[in-house]
Amino acid sequence: MSILLQIDFDFHGPWGEAMTQAMRELAESIAEEPGLLWKIWTENPDTHEAGGIYLFTDHSSAEAYLTKHRQRLQGFGIQSVNAKLFAVNTELSQIDRAPLPG
């Protein structure tokens, strides 16, 4: 069963293309995380928030990544990280065109 991880935190930029340039190496590193199927990067300059929606193959991979990412964000000076883990109902999600594995 796939596991969705939702993370958000206070962030004060960069945004848009500047974020893409600044975070490219980090994105490439995240792409290599065990069990990661995909990540959607999120940003909201109006509310000073950023984060992501991640899909993992299993709960243990999602938990391991969350632990690692919290530590990484703390290293960037971000102390408050909101995170939630959800089991994905694949059958219903596929009806609504979610890009999920079988």
| pLDDT tens digits for range 54-100 | 999 999 999 999 999 999 999 999 989 999 999 999 999 999 999 88
For 17, 29, 47, 80, the CA distances from 24, given in Å and listed in that order, are: 10, 9, 23, 23
Average pLDDT, the chain: 96
Residue at 35 is within a domain? yes
Tell whether the model's pLDDT for residue 7 goes beyond 80.
Answer: yes
When divided into structural domains, the chain yields a total of 1
Averaged pLDDT, 13-24:
97
Q: What is the pLDDT of residue 101?
A: 76
The answer to the question of residue 101 being in a domain is no
Residue 102 has pLDDT above 70, yes or no: no
Is residue 102 a part of any domain in this protein? no
**Structural domain includes residue 39:** yes
Q: Which domain holds residue 33?
A: 3-95
Per-residue pLDDT, 97: 94
Q: Which of 69, 70, 71 is nearest to 30 (CA)?
A: 69
CATH number, domain of 87, equals: 3.30.70.100
Percent of the chain whose predicted confidence (pLDDT) is above 90: 93
